[in-house]
Amino acid sequence: MFTTLQRLKTFTLLLFLSFFGQLQAQTCEQFGLVSKGFLLGKFDCDVLIVSSDGAEIFQPLVLTDELTPGKLIRFSYDILDSTDCAENVPLINITCLEPFFETNDSILTTCNFAIESTLLEDSTQTETTFQLEVFNQTDFGAYHPQDVQWYVYETGTVIGSTPIIEFSPSPTSPPSVNICADIAISFPNGDNCETTLCHTIITDTIIPQADVCQALFIYQPEDQLADNGTINFYNLSFGDFTQVLWDFGDGQTDTTTESSFIHTYNSPGLYEVCLTLEGNQSSCPSTFCLPVFTVGGSDICTYNDCVLPGDANKDGTINIFDALNLGVAFNTMGEIRPNAVIDPILQAAFDWDFNTVFDLNFKHIDCDGNGTVNEQDYLAIDQNYHSVTKQSTIEPNDTYVDVVLQFPAEKIIVNPNQTEISIPANLVIGNTDKPIKNFYGTAISFDYDKTLIKAVKSNYNNSSFVGLEEELFVREKLIQEDGQIGLVITRTNQEEVNGSGDIAEFAFIIDLDLIDGRSETLIELDINDIKVVDSNGEEIPVNVPEEGPSVVLIFDESLSVNTEDQLTETQFEVYPNPVQEILIIDLAKTIDLTNSRLQIFNVLGQTVLTQAIDNNQTKLNVSDLKHGVYWVKISTDQGIAVKEIIID
């Protein structure tokens, strides 16, 4: 299978083939590959030939234009009684030489263009880069066309618009890729040339070896602009094999040993074609598979259930709710998507063996196309994200569990001396009287007033009934320019839980300077949608309030401190902040502690702790206080200080 194809790493075989090419009469006896000597470990040799017959290496006595490294040839030879550039490299006199592929004979015209590819020297084992050039191969007309549009035939992905480009196959590219160029050129005499050229590059590094039986083939549609399902196959296998079996993926097989032949598919589409060799060598049987596109570009989506990267629920839009399906299919493995990219373009893919209860194939959830559903698939959702539009709420039902986003109170007290404040709101599912059952994941999207709220942060409640955060998939998506935030929390082990309570907190950072001196300010949130699902991805109906939560900010002058009454920052310090257990208040030794006291207020303005200060360092255990925002007020005969703290 393509997903388990072992790729041999020795040197890159470049193959330049025209869609209009045909196999010439094969009068030469052997098939060979022209190579540079250093690629074969023969550093003193310039050009060598690797023969498929026993993987022997030869040095040609005379070099010709046909012996260009990277070309496939048919040849015959007489062996000479000497070696030249290296020991064990026989010198041969070539008696028959012809290209493995050659275009039809044609009249020399200004429209005689071709494509040449070169593997760049800075290519690495992790990334292979080719230089592609389209040029006029005669002395007639311009050397380069005026207009060029390069694209990958299989996907339609545009990869360049100049005569010379660089192309790096994606990590999920199959071992061979067909690259096409639409070209156009106008000549001073009024002639015009418009045509499409397509060539194949082999992205894997493969070399014949004497003791290896290796299946290998490439394919090209007979006409890249048609969808008639007619495909040219070229068998490039080597080794001592005795039987050949072609499986075309459409229920048809063939045992032909021909080097090239045509197969016609009754229905256009994407097929996995496998070639298996049987023989006497220990490496046989050998199987090589390729995804074969009988139709190129987006047209194949007429015949294939194509994937839109990021649209994991296949509803035509990409947002936070797609991420729920990542939890449903987490760690599931299937077919790699050929030539996969996460750009928002439709891409043909093989079906996986798994579907959701809604008959959605898991290949749509594998957003990056690498054959595994995991956290990396969120990258496609994040990159291709669309803002969520408000959805109609489900009619309230007494049997449904309530899901609410709520502020701690209807009114929150604000210290006028502050420049900004953090206001919490909690996402709460169910309650002790009516917990939710079969819970697996939830996602929420809501809008906020970006003119008042300058930032929003979310935090998962690690003590909630959903589970520990390291066992979950949790992601936040903030679109600040739209004033919208989304949050997804889902389990990943396909096990549901029951429970209720606060599962996450949102902190809204409000710039008090923007409130412009108003004594009261209304902060409102507008919920776009909330979804809760079970482990199958099936939505659990819940009650969601029609009106979003709101809170009124009230400036309390009792928390205000006149400038002349303030303690300076060098006179006091409150830390750590945020705090989980022990809060430390340090006062300068110059401060008279007579009549000094300390108070802590919550966001409702209620006093939750008061005590006298009799030491320049005071330690308070605040672990019993609820998580959230508080104010510490220090009063002394020399001045007053108010400090905001956050208890985690």
544 in the same domain as 422: yes
State residue 247's pLDDT score.
97
Partner residues linked to 530 by β-bridges: 444
Do residues 436 and 501 share a domain? yes
Q: How far is CA 457 from CA 23, 106, 311, 425, in A?
A: 64, 68, 25, 10
State how many domains the chain has: 6
Q: pLDDT tens, 255-272?
A: 998 888 999 998 888 999
Residue ranges in the chain modelled with pLDDT below 50: 1-26, 103-108, 561, 563-564
Residue 105 lies in a domain: no
State pLDDT tens for residues 607-633: 888 888 888 888 989 888 888 778 888
Give pLDDT tens digits for 448-495.
Answer: 999 889 899 999 999 999 999 999 999 999 999 999 999 999 999 999
Claim to verify: residue 546 and residue 406 sit in the same structural domain: yes
- 611 and 552 in a single domain? The answer is no
What's the chain's average pLDDT? 83
Instruction: Please give the distance of CA 471 from its chain centroid, rounded to a whole number.
Output: 22
Are residues 570 and 437 part of one domain? Answer: no
Domain termination residue (choose one: 297, 330, 345):
297
| Per-residue model confidence (pLDDT) at position 279 | 83
Indicate whether 145 and 275 sit together in one domain.
no
Same domain, 542 and 465: yes
User: What percent of the chain stands above pLDDT 90?
Assistant: 38
Q: Identify the helix (H) or strand (E) that includes residue 326.
A: helix 324-328
365 and 339 housed in the same domain: yes
pLDDT at residue 107, rounded to an integer? 42
**Residue where a domain stops, chosen among 77, 99, 121:** 99
> CATH number for the domain including 573?
2.60.40.3080
Give the residue from 297, 313, 347 where a domain finishes: 297
Q: Does the residue 619 lie in any domain?
A: yes
In three state form, how does the secondary structure of 256-294 look?
CCCCEEEEECCCCCEEEEEEEEEECCCCCCEEEEEEEEC
158 and 284 together in one domain: no
pLDDT of amino acid 310: 97
Residue-wise pLDDT for 121-159, tens only, equals: 665 556 788 888 988 876 666 778 889 999 988 888 889
The answer to whether residues 86 and 221 belong to one domain is: no
Q: Distance (Å, rounded) from C-alpha 178 to C-alpha 6?
A: 21
Contact by Cβ (8 Å): 177, 203? yes
The reply to whether 107 falls in a domain is no
Give the domain range for residue 585: 561-647
Are both 149 and 82 inside the same structural domain? no
Residue 17: per-residue pLDDT: 34
